[in-house]
Every structure is written in C-alpha cells, then in structure tokens.
Structure 1
Amino acid sequence: MTGSWWRVLAGVAENIGIPVGSYLLLTWLGWQPVWALVGAAGVSVVVLGVQYVRTRELTTLGVLVLVRFALGVAVAAVTGDARLELAKDFAITSAVGVFAVVSLAFRRPLIARIRRDLSGEPGLFDHRWDHDRGFRVLHRRLTVGWSAGLLCEGVVAVVLIYALPLTAAVVATSVLAPATLLGLIGVTEWLARRHVMQNELAAPHAPGAVTDRAADR
C-alpha cells in the first residue's frame, strides 16, 4: 500500500508548483486573473494527459483535476470572477466531505473504498473487512475524520480567498489543499498500520498474519 500512497503524495506535491507557477507566469504575460487560473488548471490537465499516455492509469486525483478544470472554464465564462473561480475548488472539496458523511450509511464508507482500491491487495483488504470488526470501526472513524478535515479546509480556504490579495490567496490555497491531504493521509496510514500491527501481536500465528504485514509495506 505504501507505494500507491507515495504516488498519491507525489501527485499532490506536483499540484503545488504547477498551478502557482503557471498562474504567476500567465498573469505576468497579461492574462486576466480569472483566465490565468483557468490556464494554470489547464497546464495540470496537460501534465495529467502526458501521465495517462505513459501509464494508462487515471487516478482519483486525476479525475478531480479534470472535474475542477471543466467547472473552472464554466465559472470563468459565466462570471469572470477570479475569487469565485478559486473558491469553486473548495466547494468541490466540501462536497466530497459531505459525501463522506453520507457514505457512512453504505456497507463500506468512502475511506474504506479508497484504501481498498489503493491497497494493491483488494482480496486481503476484503478478508480483513469481513473478519475484523475493529478494522471496520476504524475505517468508519477515519471517514468521519476525513469529512471533518475536508469541510474545515473548505471554510479556511474561503476565508483566505476573500481576505487576502488575490495572488496571496492563490499561493495560500495551493499550499492549504495539499497540506490538508498530506495530513489526512499520514494519520490514516499511521492508524491503519497500528491496528494491523496490534492484531498481529495479539495473534501472531493467525492465518494471513505474515501476508498482512507484507501487504502493508
């Protein structure tokens, strides 16, 4: 699972430098701020396209980039408001946070589905889910934590967008989003690994214990 999450982290880090650098370059070239924001998002889409051609893999983060770009073009064309253009990304983030709460009513909440997809061992994840009640409870709590984190991010971002000068808001929110995601990923992986290790110590000879440890490396 570690390798998959490292790919996510690399994608998040990439989403700091590219949008901010592209926005600053385009405004320096004379673009209106709202279209500079759209253009910066477009650069991220181009990078995503290159990655897809190379790997033939479209991640959840990549889908979010495409959705944000499409909505960004619409917002820019209809409103011409640069701050609203910037805020719409965090409306999406907040919507994901709300969906996370709704997903608690499903058999598997949002974070369980995401971790299963990224695990590289979906069968092993399913086995844990079916036989370890603590594992299920952990993922429901993690989903609540992600919901709270994403909703808080949305609120803080909107305050920054409308309180700071526009360029400062672009930089601040470009750091805020990856920092929030990195923090949530770090806590999620630490708690999940701790749970697995505690179970292995409690039942070192249980079937699948060695396989479980290997799958989480």
Structure 2
Amino acid sequence: MFQTTTEPTTATETATPQPVSADEAAAQRRALVQSLKPLVVDAGIPMAAYYVLTRGCGMSTMAALAWSGVVPLVRTVWGIAKERKVNGLAAVMLVLNVAGVLLSMVAGDVRLMLAKDSAGTGVFGLVVLAAAFAGRPLMSAGLKPFATKGVPAKEAAWERLSEGSARFRRLERRFSAIWGGALLIEAVARVVGAYTLSPDVMAWLGNVLFGVAFVAAMVVGGGAAADPMEKLVEQEAAA
C-alpha cells in the first residue's frame, strides 16, 4: 500500500487573519475621525456655511463669503501665532473667500458674471500647483485619511514616509499637481467658454466642465499617485 506524505505546513500557510477586537475597531474609528477633522473644519464647514447663508438665509454673496471665511481666518491666524506655521488648507480657503469678496464687487455683463464662476477653482488650482512645486503638497491633507483609514500603524507609516521617503514625497507632489492642473484647466476652459459660447450654453456647461475636471483628477490622480502611495503605506506599516 502506498503511503502518502504530507509536507509540514508553515506558519504563513496556516495563519489566518485575526479578528479586530471591538476596542481596536473603536480606536480606528476615532483615529479616522481625528484625521478627517482638519478637512472638515478647514474646507467642509466654510463651504457648507456659504451655501446655507446664501440659499438658506438669503444672504448676499459678499456677506456670505465674509462670514464663511471666519473659520479659515481664525485657523490661519491661530496656526501662525500658536504653532509658528501656516495651516495650508485653511489659508487656501481664506484666499478663495477674499478673492470671492473682491470679485463680487465687480459688475458687468452676463459673460463677465459667467467668467467669474471660474475664479474659485482657478485660484485654488494655482495655489495647489504653486505649493506642489514648492514642496508643500496641500492635497495630502485630504488624501491621508482615506489612505490610512484611521489605522494608527498606517498613520505612523504615512508620517515616516512623508518625512524620509523621496519617492513618497514625489508622489505627494504629483497628486497635488494633478489636482491643481485639472482645476486650473477647468477654470481656463470656463472663461474661454463664457466669451465664445452663448450664455444659455455656459449656464449648464460650466457645471459639466467642473464635473469632468473632478472625475479626471480622481482617476488620473488615483492611478498615478494615490494608489502607489497607499501601497507604500501598507508596506511600511507591515514592515
């Protein structure tokens, strides 16, 4: 009778993923909320406040922009005074609000009003591009929570890579440059359309242009930078 032999299984082959305890899951959720807080406070609240004040309360554009800029202003001043550094995302939102207030004073024909809609994305795109080339990628603040998923080991890995990995820093700058470029192109296209197409067409085409730019930045930025960055974070956390 033939006797079959079985090779001993290794620890890797028999290992099964350990379930995450309730305490660990709660800690991950708290960490994710904590990492998302700057994105919500610096960008989400000002934008939400603007729409609530204009569409919900009937406030003028200038007044709504001024009031919605209070949080970014406080955050920027606090960062400079307390931490001796500029809060990048809050500063960008503050610049956008100031630009919006100044542009709201401009009166003109309907084409100028349509062209003004590109000011926000144009200024934002320029600031993001300039910061990326200066080595201070602003879009990393929005990407980090989704790449680390609130896992402390991944958050620590992100910080190590951001400080010590030249490849990771290049990917950070690339991600910001892609988003800045997409938004700047959208702004330029909207201005060109405002003065070459009929106002009726631009009334709906402006939103389409923004949607296309947003989706393109997500797809291109994901494949060219975000996905490789997430893999590097996972490898660093595992190591």
TM-score if structure 1 supplies the norm length? Answer: 0.55
Alignment correspondent of 2:85: none
Query: Within 2, Cα distance between the matches of 1:97 and 1:86?
Result: 18
Give the unaligned 5+ runs of structure 2. 1-31, 72-88
Structure 1 stretches of at least 4 aligned residues deviating more than 4 Å after TM superposition: 1-4, 59-69, 116-124
Query: Within 1, Cα distance between the matches of 2:36 and 2:220?
Result: 16
Give the CA deviation at 1:163: 1.9
Query: Within 1, Cα distance between the matches of 2:95 and 2:121?
Result: 10
Alignment correspondent of 1:171: 204
Check if 1:192 corresponds to 2:226. Answer: yes
Q: Which moves more between the two structures, 101-110 or 140-149?
A: 101-110
Alignment correspondent of 1:83: 111
* Count of residues in correspondence between the two structures: 182
Alignment correspondent of 1:160: 193
Alignment correspondent of 2:179: 146
Give the CA deviation at 1:87: 1.1
CA distance change for structure 1 residues 90 and 148 in 2, over 3 Å: closer, same or farther?
same
Alignment of 1:17-166 (within 5 A): 66-67=97-98, 69-76=100-107, 80-116=108-144, 125-166=158-199
Alignment correspondent of 1:210: none
Give the CA deviation at 1:128: 2.7
Q: Deviations over 1:181-200 (max 9, x none)?
A: 23313433453134322563
Indicate the structure (1 or 2) with the bigger Cα radius of gyration: 2
Alignment correspondent of 2:17: none
Query: Within 1, Cα distance between the matches of 2:140 and 2:236?
Result: 23
Query: Within 2, Cα distance between the matches of 1:102 and 1:133?
Result: 19
Query: Within 2, Cα distance between the matches of 1:180 and 1:75?
Result: 26
Percent identity, aligned pairs only, is: 24
Query: Within 2, Cα distance between the matches of 1:197 and 1:125?
Result: 11
After superposition, the CA RMSD in angstroms is: 4.8
- The 8 Å contact of residues 157 and 173 in structure 1, kept in 2 or not, is answered as yes
Q: Deviations over 1:22-45 (max 9, x none)?
A: xxxxxxxxxxxxxxxx97x68x97
- What amino acid sits opposite 1:71 in the alignment? L
More helix by share: 1
CA distance change for structure 1 residues 105 and 162 in 2, over 3 Å: closer, same or farther?
closer
Corresponding residue SS for 1:137: helix
- The 8 Å contact of residues 72 and 85 in structure 1, kept in 2 or not, is answered as no
- The 8 Å contact of residues 138 and 176 in structure 2, kept in 1 or not, is answered as yes
Higher RCO (C-alpha under 8 Å, 6+ residues apart): 1
Give the CA deviation at 1:160: 1.4
- What amino acid sits opposite 2:136 in the alignment? R
- The 8 Å contact of residues 162 and 168 in structure 2, kept in 1 or not, is answered as yes
- The 8 Å contact of residues 157 and 233 in structure 2, kept in 1 or not, is answered as no
Give the unaligned 5+ runs of structure 1. 22-37, 53-58, 207-217
